[in-house]
Structure 1
Amino acid sequence: MRLLYIANIRLPTERAHGLQIVQNCEAFAAAGAEVRLWVARRFQTAELRRAADPWTHYGVARTFQIRRLPCLDLLPLVPGRADALSKLVFAVQLATFAVAACLGVLFARADVYYSRDPLILLCLSLFKPRRRLVYEAHLLAQGRAGRWIEQRVLRRVGTVFTTTRHLAESLIERGAPADRTHPAHDGIRAARFAAPQTVAEARAALGYAPTAFVVGYVGRFQTLALDKGVGVLIAAAARIEGVTVLLVGGPAEAAESFRVQWSALGRSAAEFEYAGQVAPDDVPRCLYACDALAIPSPAGDWFAYHSSPMKLFEYMAAGRPILASDLPALREVIDERAAVLLPPQDVTAWAEALRRLRDDPTLRSSLAAEAKARVMRAYTWEARARMILSAIGDAHLEDSL
């Protein structure tokens, strides 16, 4: 099967979707597909201009091709803004990339055109048969224009995959074909976690204190302009003596605000570690350096039903106990046997859970063991790729009958 994945992203990128897409392309290739990835040729950040090529940066095999398509990228002129002008600039960038992708597709043969971008699929549907178009949905469209595009895409693609069951149900309600809409949870690249380290080994490599009880958070501190609840973790950890917080990710300005919050709560700066945005291959070591890992997501609809944080699966693979907000989307993957599930934004409950984990090594071990066994059994990119390719093949077979 020749699979062409079209993604309107910078590559490399500091955001999790870059890692997700690249690891999925590697997994599709390992499952037998001939894979090409087309991304936007966009202005890169100063830090990532110094990064290696995408395969090396993300630590994946060179089993798929990458091509960069032109677009009109004015986004650096409106950094960090979320006003009408920035939305217009993004729309121009997306539209010009979609045009470039459609022109490229005219001269590129593939059995499957795979994308997370509804506008691209809508354009492709004008001249490509339905059975060849595959939509991987990560959120519900918002606004009149977004809903209009989404409704047409759901009718014009052959197969839809979603990262949560709740998102699949929501898209079916919006018109996606029920028999061709499949949940496909995120996962992990098992090879990244093939050489686990003890807490002591990881901390020695990173230069962190060997004796503190460290609770970690890895990832972006905001998504879709929504706060991810890290402030709740800071407030809870500050109540428990002997707990150190480790943050990995960005942006750095947000991390600095959390450092100020930590100090304002009377805690020592020595008990707050910020590692910055680390290379993908360094993430496992940061996870191994922690005694517990946190997903303090708030309770809004996006987090409750449609968010599938990649950090969840990597936390599970790292073999460390997890504290997570008790949300339906997370419960699709974990339960009380695999994590401590807590009311979102309840600082007191989070503080007590941290105290309990700090004082109960048996509980830490049992939660971590169950979570690791579960992710290795059911949530690898390789298993996901096989399921997706099988579902696409079944849809092709039905259309040919």
Structure 2
Amino acid sequence: MKILMLAPQPFFEERGTPIAVRLAAEALAGQGHEVDLLTFHVGQDVAMPGVSHHRIAAPPGIRRVPIGFSPAKLVCDLWMFFAAARLLLRQRYDVVHAVEEAVFLAWPLATMRRAHLVYDADSILSEQVADKWPKARLPARLLAFLERAAFRRSDLTLAVCPAIQTAARGVAAADRVHLLPDVAFEDPGSAGATEDIGALANGRPLALYVGNLEAYQGVALLIEALALVDPNRRPMLVIIGGNPQAIADHAALADRLGIAADVRLLGARPLGHLAHYLAQADILCSPRIQGRNTPMKIFSYMASTRPILATRIESHSQVLDDGSAWLAPPTALGLAEGMERLAHDAALRGDLGRVAAHRARTEFSHGAFVERLRLAYATLQPRIPPAPRPLVKQPVEGR
């Protein structure tokens, strides 16, 4: 099939949604589909075999699009609508695959051109608005109404987590809603990665957080939790990710709490080095306080065999349980108790890490992602195409 994929984000950036978009586009192309990907004008160019990458024209004065809702993003969404309309007028597409809010742009275009509409739902958008702007009740309710309508209208919904799958199946036929979780990145060898973050701990256990420093990630709460741990039992906290302003804000918080010597904010690091950093940690932290979609980093955390300290919210508990992670109340005290226990119980760390890694290998591998996507897209066709056969080496006699 010929697919137009609309991804309303800077592309490429090494963070959750753009990574998922790249994985899906490459997987669809690898399955024999012809994929045109339309993204915002900003971001890095990356090689994607079989994928034709298009960008919107640059709206005047917009050189950066931050994470989440913003006036700049809304303007870029409008530019994307017209860019998508031009592509659809020039050629025939069988499918319009819309990521997040792009479904509202794709809906009339897919209807006009009689193309299948695929809603790639990475989050509940109305909840994001309600969380970020609690007083914006009317816009949040309107967006919730439109989301339900989009679930009903879509020929296929790809839900990134069970919570979104449940929400979609509440208004749409179950066979049109498929679960497509993110991927646990396999260790690519971390070629070129040499940074020794373990040395920063100076013999103490090392707790590591990887990701952006937006408020919903709860990194400020994690720093507050560290301050509650007995100084004689306190691990070193290393934080990878964040923009310069967010890094400065979190460093200032650690300084105010008197634990600046126990926190290291390293800034961004290459995604290809992720496994190298995770392998050096004793505890992997995800202190998220809002949202229902599971953070992409959780799957790589799981694959690393290192123990996970996460908040007991739906975002985490739909993938993790008490056998595969330490799930703490989303409070500073709750995280502090978990951090101290994991820092000084090597047997528990090993047990949790092994269970999580097994689950990552069996349920959240790249192969599982590709097969889920193939089966979901097969519902748009008369029959399911056969899965490609793996190449199996024949045994050599006498060995």
Which TM bucket (shorter chain)?
0.7 to 0.9
Q: Is the 8 A contact 2:185 2:303 kept in 1?
A: no
Matches for 1:149-160 after TM superposition, within 5 Å:
149-160=146-157
- Equivalent residue for 2:55, pick from 60, 63, 68: 68
Q: Which runs of 5+ in 2 are unaligned?
A: 127-138, 384-399
Deviation at residue 98 of structure 1 after TM alignment? 1.1
Residue 69 of structure 1 aligns with an amino acid whose one-letter code is I
Deviation at residue 341 of structure 1 after TM alignment? 0.7
SS in 1 for 2:379: helix
Q: Is the 8 A contact 1:220 1:249 kept in 2?
A: yes
SS in 1 for 2:108: helix
Q: Does 1:4 align with 2:1?
A: no
Greater than 4 Å deviation, 4+ residue runs: 76-82
Matches for 1:90-105 after TM superposition, within 5 Å:
90-105=73-88
Matches for 1:1-400 after TM superposition, within 5 Å:
1-42=1-42, 53-55=45-47, 62-72=49-59, 74-76=61-63, 86-87=70-71, 89-116=72-99, 117-129=102-114, 132-142=116-126, 143=139, 146-147=143-144, 149-173=146-170, 175-190=171-186, 193-195=187-189, 204=196, 208-209=200-201, 211-222=203-214, 226-238=215-227, 239-241=229-231, 242-269=234-261, 271-298=262-289, 300=290, 303=291, 306-345=292-331, 347-397=332-382
Residue 349 of structure 1 aligns with an amino acid whose one-letter code is G
Task: Report which structure shows greater RCO (CA 8 Å, sep ≥6).
Answer: 1
Q: Is the 8 A contact 1:218 1:249 kept in 2?
A: yes
Deviation at residue 65 of structure 1 after TM alignment? 2.7
In 2, the alpha carbon distance for the partners of 1:17 and 1:4 equals 17
Deviation at residue 80 of structure 1 after TM alignment? 8.9
The share of aligned pairs that are identical, in percent, is 25
SS in 2 for 1:41: coil
Structure 1 residues 128 and 81: alpha-carbon distance in aligned structure 2, compared to 1, 3 A threshold: closer
Structure 1 residues 169 and 74: alpha-carbon distance in aligned structure 2, compared to 1, 3 A threshold: farther
Structure 1 residues 257 and 96: alpha-carbon distance in aligned structure 2, compared to 1, 3 A threshold: closer
In 1, the alpha carbon distance for the partners of 2:159 and 2:36 equals 21
SS in 2 for 1:10: coil
Q: Which runs of 5+ in 1 are unaligned?
A: 45-50, 56-60
> In angstroms, what is the RMSD of aligned CA positions?
2.8
Q: Is the 8 A contact 1:325 1:342 kept in 2?
A: yes
Deviation at residue 373 of structure 1 after TM alignment? 1.3
Structure 1 residues 189 and 62: alpha-carbon distance in aligned structure 2, compared to 1, 3 A threshold: farther
SS in 2 for 1:28: helix
In 2, the alpha carbon distance for the partners of 1:39 and 1:79 equals 14
Larger helix fraction of residues:
1
In 2, the alpha carbon distance for the partners of 1:386 and 1:310 equals 18
Q: Is the 8 A contact 2:157 2:168 kept in 1?
A: no
Q: Is the 8 A contact 2:278 2:284 kept in 1?
A: yes
In 2, the alpha carbon distance for the partners of 1:277 and 1:338 equals 27
Structure 1 residues 319 and 3: alpha-carbon distance in aligned structure 2, compared to 1, 3 A threshold: farther
In 1, the alpha carbon distance for the partners of 2:3 and 2:38 equals 11
The superposition leaves residues 101-159 of structure 1 with CA deviations (integer Å, 9 ceiling, x where unpaired) of: 121122234433211122222132332335x2211112234326534543443333210
Q: Is the 8 A contact 2:151 2:172 kept in 1?
A: yes
Deviation at residue 90 of structure 1 after TM alignment? 3.2
Deviation at residue 387 of structure 1 after TM alignment? 1.4
SS in 1 for 2:322: coil
31-40 or 116-125, larger mean C-alpha shift = 31-40
In 2, the alpha carbon distance for the partners of 1:128 and 1:169 equals 29
SS in 2 for 1:231: helix
Normalising by structure 1, we get a TM-score of 0.81
Q: Is the 8 A contact 1:187 1:379 kept in 2?
A: yes
Deviation at residue 312 of structure 1 after TM alignment? 0.6
In 1, the alpha carbon distance for the partners of 2:76 and 2:190 equals 41
In 1, the alpha carbon distance for the partners of 2:55 and 2:105 equals 15
SS in 1 for 2:196: helix
In 2, the alpha carbon distance for the partners of 1:277 and 1:7 equals 23
Q: Is the 8 A contact 2:37 2:54 kept in 1?
A: yes
The superposition leaves residues 75-111 of structure 1 with CA deviations (integer Å, 9 ceiling, x where unpaired) of: 44897997xxx53x43332112111112112223443
